[in-house]
Amino acid sequence: MSSKRKSLIPTLLLIMVVCVVGVVYLATFRTEDVQVVVRDLVARSFGEHVVIERIQVGFFPYPHLDLKNVSIQNPEQGTPVFQAKHVQLDLNFLSFVQDIPMPHALIIEHSVFNLRRDENGQWNYLNVLQGESPDQVEIGAWLLGRSLKLTNGTVHLEDQYRRESAFIIHAEDVELQVEQLVWDGPTEMLLSARFSEEGTGSMLSAYGTLQDIGGFLKDGNTPGRDSSPQFDVHTRMDLARETLVQCANFFDVHEVPIGFQGRTKVQGHLHFAPGIEGYDLSVSDLVVLTDSIDLNSEISVKGLWLPEPPTFSGQWSSAPVAIQHLPQLLPEGLIPSELSDAIHRQSVSGKIQAVSATFTGSSRKEASYTLKGKFQLSEGKLDFGPKLGAVKEMTCTITVGTDEIRFFDFHGQYEELPVTQGEGMIVFDEQGPWLTTEFGGRVSASKIIGLMQTIAGWHVPQRPEEALQGKAGSGLLMLRFAGPLKDPQAIAFQSAKYHPERIAMQLPGLRMILTQVEGIFAISENHLRFENVTGLYGDSDFHIQGTIDLEGESYTDDLRIQGHFSDRDLRTLLSVPALPTQEIISGRSQYLLMVAGQLRNPSVKGRISLQGLEIHLPGILSKPSSLAGNLDFHVRIDNKRQFTFDSMALSLPSIRFAGKGKFHYDQTLTFNASLTAEPIRFESLPPDLELFEKTISSGIMEGVVHLRGTGGDWRSWSKSGQVTLTDGVVNIEGIRSPISRVALQVKLAGHAAELKRLQWNLEKSQTQAKGFILTWDSRPNMKLSLTATRFDLDLLLPRDKQRSPLRELLETIANTAKVSAKLQFNRASYRNLKIRNLSGQLNMNKGIIRIDRIRGKADNGTIQGRVSVNLPVQQPAAVKTWFSINSIPLLTLEKTLLDTQALDKQLMTGLMTMDGALQGHGRNPLGVLPTLKGRLKLTIKDGRIKRGVVIPKILAIMNLPNMLRGKVDLEKDGYPFDRQSGTFAIADGQIVSTDMVMDGPVVKMTAAGQYNLVNDNLDVVTAVSPLGSYFKLLQEIPLVHLLLDDEEQGINLAMFSVKGPFRNPAIEPLAMESVAVGLKGFGKLALSILKNTITLPQKILFPDDNKEAGASSPEPQKQESEDTFMETY
């Protein structure tokens, strides 16, 4: 406790001393002395130009001096540089004992600074601050190390240096606070002010560091670097447009935009310092907020306060700003005038945002401005003029380079096209900015044609490409435009690319639509290019590559179409009636088309691979799908649907058909064409290739055919040309043997054909034909001459219970054609029957074959007659015939008609004469025999019966061979006869004869009876009587008896009954008792015939003995002529 008291006593003593000293000082202090000292100090600092109205000294709460209404005059101009209503100098107690009282703080209130720089760069404040005499105290003595506070100040600045007109700026409410003013070092300060320019009320606030501010008090236009002032401050400004322009002009920054409207709020960090030349100003963390634009930036300005304009560089980002404001927001010259004009005309509009941008440059003549950076466009519009329209609601990213502007990530709306992607570029060259852009989006197939009509100018209504119709699907459409920005209406459509994605389209001239179309349609105003365009037409696919020139008449020279086609699509390929291809072609194959020329009348070269196609031309060609081949053609198509084939070739192994001609499709098909068949060697054809249904197996065929007609019915076409076949071998169905050595030469003229030569060999036949065939392509009407060096009639007759070899051929001809032919066969044969000079007249029509005036010679005899045959298709035939055979050796006919087994049982010789008529048909289930009907008259002369089943047995029963042994050898030489005759009536399957007679040197034999052809039953009665030199000898035969008639004339005879099968009948002699009682039926007829045969010579030699009988006999009936019979038959 005592220690604390001891330490407190000295402190109290010190305070008492200070109080005593203060009281003494105040008692002895004189205010007037202080005022004199202050005035003297001010005069030595500022000269005699300082006016202080009143000076007050105060001690509480601390010592200070109050200067009232202070004014500092410019010594040269006599105008005030500084005025202040109140200046307070804060002092300490020691200041009053010094010769020069120096304040430690300075407070200036309600001051006015009038600063002016003249044309020579001389500031008016320098005349005041710089001393006029060596003993003058500098202003630094007042301010150095002191704190400074300026309130309610006003600054009026006027600058005439290097300016045509004075720069004036006025600031009010200036507040400045400096904690410690350092003349040659850093000084921290806080400043705020309000710029008053016609009521704009711009505000400024700043805080930071001032460096070497003493340099402002030195003379010279450009302060030296070592003592040059600089500052590094954070600034906030709220400036009107006029104030902003004035601030820029003060720093000689004339490139600052003058287009800011309204107020501009700026904040950032400013660094102002000497540079290599002049002063440099850098602004970092700059934020500018205006009515037009908000941006963040960093700016560097070099070369301030030099005679030459400064150099700028900067980086910034901004909020979206209307493009129309850019010319006012950016330095003049940074935007080319052409682009500014486009912006002014609103050809280019929207909002643009600087994402990251830099610019450098100067307004110096040798320099220019450079803008680079990344920008974002929104709500944009790019107007191409009334023709091409405009892109609206556009957004994109823009990058600005040294000489170009690029933009990408396009989005927007162009006409009916929603833009989802795109890019572009603006290049600056001597002619001005040039725009090139490409953008697009998905567009439906139904709108693509109309859109391209608008954009590409496809306005000619009859262009084929405009008839395209999109049906379904969509694709990506990319459009390309280019042109000068100085005239947006000069921007032109350059090209477009459409990327369809499995769309459906309707092509003019096709019935079905194209589906699953993909690839690229490259479109320009004058070109349409197909790049790997693929799709389907029904089941057929296609691939298109090439270009169509749309300038003037649409034209192409490299359009290539290839793919695979299906037979089902051929019938719908053309929208007009065509050939019935579905009946001819089936399968799937490759094709290649090369299109050139105008699209209205293009030229098409093509190849169709036939491998994979099955071709069936009835009666002409049949090709399997596995067989290779090609169809090559060159066709020109005009706008009237006329197809002109300059060449066409069908190539198959060993076959080549070449042709040319014109085809016109309208409501019907009209054409005029020619077809040439190069020599075809049939033996070289592949086994699976059928030509003419393989009826020709060997030979060489060639020909030329010209076709002209309308419609799909080939029968109505006009045909001309010539076809030849040499050394051919023909196989016809139904003919078991091939027709060989066929030679054919046909000349076609319209619907008629001249058969110049037709020659063939069939088995033993060698035949030729020539003549004319009228309407050969519908119902042929043939007028021919048929000749043969040899002809086998066996070809016309059935064989082995089968139809004749030529039956089907004749049946077809008879039912489909009309034939009139003159027949002349040098040699004809039927088995052993040989006929010479056989002739006749052949007529065939409506299924009936008729041969008239048949004439021929066989051995020393003759044959004549006519025949009519009805040959319905696939039905039994019907035959009518009349014939006359004269003096034909019977043995020849027997060997011709009878088989070996029959010849072993029956054999007869002699000369046969036979006349008759016969008819029959095959419609009866029992065969032909029941249908036979007719009459035959038969005569055989000078013959012998060597073997038989009736007469030799009767003679054997009569023991005639034994009785004549040694005189006549019947077993060896046969039984001789002079004449055999008879008349036979055929009907209902029966052959009936009542006048069969055989005259011979030994016996006379007569017979009457019938033969059932169906049941093979013979029922005949014969009467035999010995004659001539053998009469007495034969009377001794037991079976020969004398028969007396009513006239008591006796006849020696024997009678027999013949019954049973024809080849083995039962023969029994008739008892004389039954003969004497009276015969009936065939027995009576046989006896009457025998009686008449024996007594007839006597009546002829002794007619008087027969007068009575002759008077009562009836007059002989006139014989019916054969022709009459045949007609009634």
- Integer angstrom CA distances of residue 469 from 441, 444, 448, 753: 19, 11, 9, 50
Q: Is the pLDDT of residue 467 over 80?
A: no
Q: Is the pLDDT of residue 621 over 60?
A: yes
Q: Which of 394-403, 564-573, 734-743, 754-763 has the highest mean pLDDT?
A: 754-763
- Integer angstrom CA distances of residue 502 from 443, 471, 479, 515, 1085: 13, 11, 20, 7, 103
Residues 6+ apart with CB under 8 A from 901: none
Q: Which of 450-464, 511-525, 1025-1039 has the highest mean pLDDT?
A: 511-525
Calculate Rg over the CA atoms of the chain.
Answer: 71
Please say whether the beta carbons of 952 and 945 come within 8 A.
Answer: yes
pLDDT in tens, 880-899: 999 999 999 988 888 888 87
Q: What would the mean pLDDT of 466-485 be, rounded to a whole number? A: 81
Q: Is the pLDDT of residue 37 over 70?
A: no
- Integer angstrom CA distances of residue 1116 from 425, 1089, 1106, 1113, 1119: 130, 16, 16, 9, 9
724: confidence class by pLDDT, cuts 50, 70, 90: very high
Following DSSP, what letter does each residue of 355-410 receive, concatenated? EEEEEEEESSTT---EEEEEEEEEEEEEE--TTT-EEEEEEEEEEE-SSEEEEEEE
pLDDT in tens, 108-166: 899 998 888 888 878 887 766 655 555 555 555 566 667 888 999 998 888 887 777 77
pLDDT of residue 1124: 34
Q: What would the mean pLDDT of 992-1013 be, rounded to a whole number? A: 88
Q: Is the pLDDT of residue 633 over 60?
A: yes
Q: Is the pLDDT of residue 239 over 70?
A: yes
- Between 932 and 809, the more confident residue is 932
Q: In a 10 Å sphere around its CB, with 0-12 CB exposed, 13-18 middle and 19+ buried, how is residue 28 labelled?
A: exposed
Q: What type of residue is 588?
A: R
pLDDT of residue 1101: 42
Three-state secondary structure call for residue 661: strand
What whole-number distance in Å separates Cα of residue 910 and Cα of residue 237? Answer: 157
Kindly report the three-state secondary structure assignment for every residue of 43-56.
HHHHHHHEEEEEEE
- Give residue for tokens 């003096």: 887
Q: Is the pLDDT of residue 803 over 70?
A: yes
Closest by Cα among 330, 159, 332 to 250: 159
Q: Is the pLDDT of residue 57 over 70?
A: yes
Q: Is the pLDDT of residue 1028 over 60?
A: no
Q: Is the pLDDT of residue 925 over 60?
A: yes
Q: Is the pLDDT of residue 237 over 90?
A: no
What whole-number distance in Å separates Cα of residue 1069 and Cα of residue 401? Answer: 144
Please say whether the beta carbons of 360 and 392 come within 8 A.
Answer: no
795: confidence class by pLDDT, cuts 50, 70, 90: confident
What whole-number distance in Å separates Cα of residue 410 and Cα of residue 422? Answer: 4
pLDDT of residue 133: 54
pLDDT of residue 575: 47
Q: Is the pLDDT of residue 680 over 80?
A: yes
Q: What would the mean pLDDT of 666-695 be, rounded to a whole number? A: 86
Q: What is the largest CA-CA distance in the chain?
A: 236
- Given CA atoms 1095, 1097, 1101, 1104 in this order, what sign does their dihedral have? positive
What is the distance in angstroms between the CA of the first residue and the CA of the last residue of the chain? 188
pLDDT of residue 1038: 55
Q: 409: left (phi > 0), else alpha (psi -120 to 50), else beta?
A: left
The percent of residues above 90 in pLDDT, for the chain, comes to 19
Q: Is the pLDDT of residue 538 over 70?
A: yes
1099: confidence class by pLDDT, cuts 50, 70, 90: very low
| Residue burial 1079-1090, b: 16+ Cβ < 10 Å; e: rest | beebbebbbbbb
Q: What would the mean pLDDT of 853-881 be, rounded to a whole number? A: 92
pLDDT in tens, 950-993: 888 888 887 777 777 767 777 778 888 999 999 999 998 999 99
pLDDT of residue 933: 94
pLDDT of residue 1128: 29
Please say whether the beta carbons of 90 and 83 come within 8 A.
Answer: no
463 DSSP assignment: -
Element (H, E) at 679: strand 669-681
1043: confidence class by pLDDT, cuts 50, 70, 90: very low
> Mean pLDDT lowest for which of 329-333, 756-760, 1002-1006?
329-333
- Between 1044 and 557, the more confident residue is 557
> Mean pLDDT lowest for which of 212-216, 437-441, 469-473, 1059-1063?
212-216
Q: What would the mean pLDDT of 574-588 be, rounded to a whole number? A: 63
- Between 342 and 67, the more confident residue is 67
- Between 727 and 41, the more confident residue is 727
> Mean pLDDT lowest for which of 343-357, 615-629, 871-885, 1035-1049?
1035-1049
- Between 248 and 26, the more confident residue is 248
Q: Is the pLDDT of residue 926 over 80?
A: yes
Please say whether the beta carbons of 887 and 914 come within 8 A.
Answer: no
Q: Which of 794-803, 1027-1036, 1079-1088 has the highest mean pLDDT?
A: 794-803
Pairing assessment for the beta strands 421-429 and 621-623 based on DSSP bridges? unpaired
What whole-number distance in Å separates Cα of residue 608 and Cα of residue 604? Answer: 13
pLDDT of residue 800: 64
Closest by Cα among 374, 388, 476 to 435: 388
Closest by Cα among 812, 798, 805, 815 to 920: 798
pLDDT of residue 723: 93
Please say whether the beta carbons of 34 and 96 come within 8 A.
Answer: yes
Does the global pTM surpass 0.85? no
The percent of residues above 70 in pLDDT, for the chain, comes to 77
Q: What would the mean pLDDT of 382-394 be, rounded to a whole number? A: 80
87: confidence class by pLDDT, cuts 50, 70, 90: confident
pLDDT of residue 473: 87
What whole-number distance in Å separates Cα of residue 56 and Cα of residue 291? Answer: 51
1107: confidence class by pLDDT, cuts 50, 70, 90: very low
pLDDT of residue 758: 92
Q: Which residues pair with 868 in a beta bridge?
A: 850, 880
Q: What would the mean pLDDT of 184-196 be, rounded to a whole number? A: 84
Closest by Cα among 1050, 1035, 1031 to 1091: 1050
- Give residue for tokens 């690319």: 497
